[in-house]
Chain A
């Protein structure tokens, strides 16, 4: 099936093949006959051996063989005449497996049969390891052999340290042995985890491994194996505790609350944003103190579609009752008690806190939320950008705290920083003599890691963030390796967003106030514009939690994962992007304030394959908590069946304005369906409805 050249067979070859076919067919039908009639004579067993040596993939023959062995063992057990000894019986099987593997050393049935024989307590580990040595010489990447090796080492309790040495030998023999590197990473993980003797100091072990892999990288930079291992080492080095990096309201800010609201609506959202996805944020792990005791019963919600409960952003609602004082302080203490853990398994062990003041005001002061009563046109003239005037800068500072981490004094272990700096130097050295793709990518990743360490470690290391260099590296990679442009664009987007949002100056350039001049209302939105930036992904939203109006139009967005954290978002423009399905818009379902949505000129309906079909809750998978009434999807409502993904999205949104023109999926039927579904909708593609 694999690697056989294509050529028309000669008559001689055809005759040969017919002969072989007849012989094999004969063996196979005999085998089935013996099997069904439970015939285990010496002759029958020999025929099965002949079959398996020429066709080791014939799985029923291996089954027959096992039954034959059981039969023979029973005969011995019953002390029957001429019965073979168990040793001899099982030896025959081991020889058969070796012969079968000679025909095809990837035959699953053969390897499994050997394991089955071994489970009967026969054969020495020496013999098995010798056999494995033979196979690994033939093909060092034979994963059956490696799996079998792991089976034997476990069975015979061969210590991990010995096996680690074996991978060292294999790697020195040939650097391009991904299978050996893989095994090495597994063994090392185990040794580090259990702090085995000689492996207690994690940083030292990793340091030695970096040196070890450097040999491979410098010898053959174009071979992937070493680079994947290096990438794992990097991940291990950077493994750290999750940190709180942002909140809404921001630390040290003054929040305005409206008192003119009905009882049940007198709440405001509190959002905590961590450096990576965590679980376990609850009233037991986060303590909220304010004048009105209500902190105990707070329910925290993860702002992410992740069904395992991990999220970077977490939300709760804080109530303020009727007789609220003019202003009150709120203190939020995180991780006083353990329980917050990152998806990497790292616990948030160091406690930290933020505080802010909430002031109550009556109606005629600036409202903190906006009601949309007029059509949003997104016109340029309605947008008034912030200047770099200190007043505006202060306003921005009040909206987000760019250096919250400073308050909480985390530190980066020096060794970690040293390792990263060292690896950066080595990568540069390698790249000076060899223009290798993964080398460049690794340098980019190292520089990103360096940036992160500086930011979260709050170190004034003297070096500026490397953003320009990283972006240039990704540009290089797009040219060097155009097949993977999609990947580099995504990575580029992440870095660009970080650069744009991580300092006041660049953030100010994106912000402003939007006011619909053509309308009588005076309300305005705090707004951010990130358009025409070739963004294919969004992230680093920790500094945009206050945004009410966001323009992401004219980019290359395929996904909007991450937007769930922007709980103040009222108006969102996603026109002229590459969103290719309704399922891609699932994150919007968590935006409780969203009223205005523009997804015009995307690719919804233009693709026959939906790449997010299994990433969202749908009737196609058994995602838990999904109350799907399948029965209603019979002939009753053909539209519901046809537009099930649009239905699942829009029924959970409270839109007042929707723009959807320019997507292949839009027709009169869909339009009517959506207008019927969304009762609060006032404008559809610019025209008023309802």
Chain B
């Protein structure tokens, strides 16, 4: 059990940033911008964002921007909402959102809203409530939510609400913790959490905690550290986090660390990666593990970064 090996995780993340040539990096080359968000937010939560030189990161991010205003997952890759949000989030960490042509980016995002209020991920038209969250979160951070039809966006999200209180990717789709996070987060940011039946969803979510203390993403599935974020942040946004055993979850996450080499894996004794390292650390922050910066459950950024954007400008 024990403690969070902070120094090892910092070393691990920095080493990942540098690595580009092994198979794992190549196969995920197309989502490196997401990787940057996971790695850098983890560093910030651990108090070590300064271990990375923003003057190296920011120019690379800008190179990922397409002429349409959207961002691709890496240089030369097509633009998509998934990477546009990560770009904005990383710039927010460095308090450098103003290097963007905000109008341009906001227009790109807004152009992807469909008539029924849903959002396509890109010009090829895949619709998913993940994209609703991304659009809403991005535009809120850019302070341009007015560019979309918020009411219709909310209407679409509500149409994806299921009979068990959860949300799926499209209307009629099964409830899944990742989609629930997206829908609840979008409703939180737009101020429409009243559309959520908090007792019903809260119970479905708290039942994700299995005997080992970890959380799964749907009934009868295995626990996974990434659900420590999605289930946990959803529970926090609807004020039902006291319905799970926080201590047991903390121990589960700590058990998923590679204490020798740093990094966190999906389950104890599995291979680590930066994705699960981020979700593990972010989850620990939500659980108020000592020594970590508080993270905001809706924007998935440190609270001080969010407060700076909304309480000062």
Q: Do A and B bind each other?
A: yes
How long is the Cα–Cα vector from A621 to B270 in the complex, in angstroms? 38
7 A-B pairs with least C-beta separation: A623-B191, A614-B188, A486-B242, A483-B245, A621-B191, A487-B243, A608-B294
- Contact of B163 with A17 in the complex, beta carbons under 8 Å: no
- Contact of B194 with A308 in the complex, beta carbons under 8 Å: yes
Beyond A57-B27, A614-B193, A630-B313, 11 additional contacts (C-beta under 8 Å) are A5-B269, A6-B258, A21-B21, A28-B26, A141-B218, A228-B204, A619-B311, A621-B298, A622-B140, A622-B145, A641-B311
- Contact of A622 with B150 in the complex, beta carbons under 8 Å: yes
Interface size on B, residues (CB 8 A): 90
How long is the Cα–Cα vector from A66 to B126 in the complex, in angstroms? 13
What residues of chain B have their CB less than 8 Å away from a CB belonging to chain A? 21-23, 25-31, 72-73, 76-78, 80, 122, 124-126, 128, 140, 145, 150, 162-164, 168-170, 172-176, 188-195, 202-204, 206-207, 209, 213, 218-221, 224, 236-245, 248, 258, 265-267, 269-273, 275-276, 285-286, 288, 294, 296-298, 303, 306, 310-313
What residues of chain A have their CB less than 8 Å away from a CB belonging to chain B? 1-7, 17-18, 20-21, 24-25, 28, 32, 35-36, 55, 57-60, 62-63, 66, 108, 112, 116, 141, 143, 146-147, 150, 176, 178-179, 182-183, 185-186, 189, 223-225, 228, 231-232, 235, 306-308, 310, 482-487, 490, 536, 558-559, 607-609, 611-615, 617, 619-624, 626, 630, 633-634, 641, 644
How long is the Cα–Cα vector from A1 to B267 in the complex, in angstroms? 11
How long is the Cα–Cα vector from A7 to B270 in the complex, in angstroms? 8
Contacts of A55 in B (CB 8 A): 27
- Contact of B23 with A21 in the complex, beta carbons under 8 Å: yes
- Contact of B248 with A483 in the complex, beta carbons under 8 Å: yes
Contacts of B297 in A (CB 8 A): 609, 613-614
Closest to B204 in A: A228
Of B77, B265, B311, which contacts A630 at CB under 8 A?
Answer: B311
- Contact of B244 with A179 in the complex, beta carbons under 8 Å: no
Q: A146-B173, A146-B174 are in contact. Are A60 and B72 (CB under 8 A)?
A: yes
- Contact of A182 with B244 in the complex, beta carbons under 8 Å: no
- Chain A's interface: helix, strand, loop or mixed, by majority? helix
How long is the Cα–Cα vector from A185 to B122 in the complex, in angstroms? 32
How long is the Cα–Cα vector from A524 to B294 in the complex, in angstroms? 46
A-B contact list, 15 entries, CB within 8 Å: A1-B276, A21-B25, A24-B26, A32-B77, A60-B72, A108-B126, A116-B124, A141-B218, A147-B173, A182-B163, A612-B239, A613-B296, A614-B298, A620-B189, A630-B313
- Contact of A607 with B288 in the complex, beta carbons under 8 Å: yes
How far in angstroms is the closest Cβ of chain B from A251? 30
- Contact of B174 with A179 in the complex, beta carbons under 8 Å: yes
Q: A21-B21, A490-B243, A620-B306 are in contact. Are A483 and B258 (CB under 8 A)?
A: no
Q: A6-B270, A308-B195, A607-B288 are in contact. Are A621 and B312 (CB under 8 A)?
A: no
How far in angstroms is the closest Cβ of chain A from B148? 11
Contacts of A18 in B (CB 8 A): 21-23
Of A58, A179, A189, A641, which contacts B163 at CB under 8 A?
Answer: A189
- Contact of A59 with B173 in the complex, beta carbons under 8 Å: no
Closest to A146 in B: B174
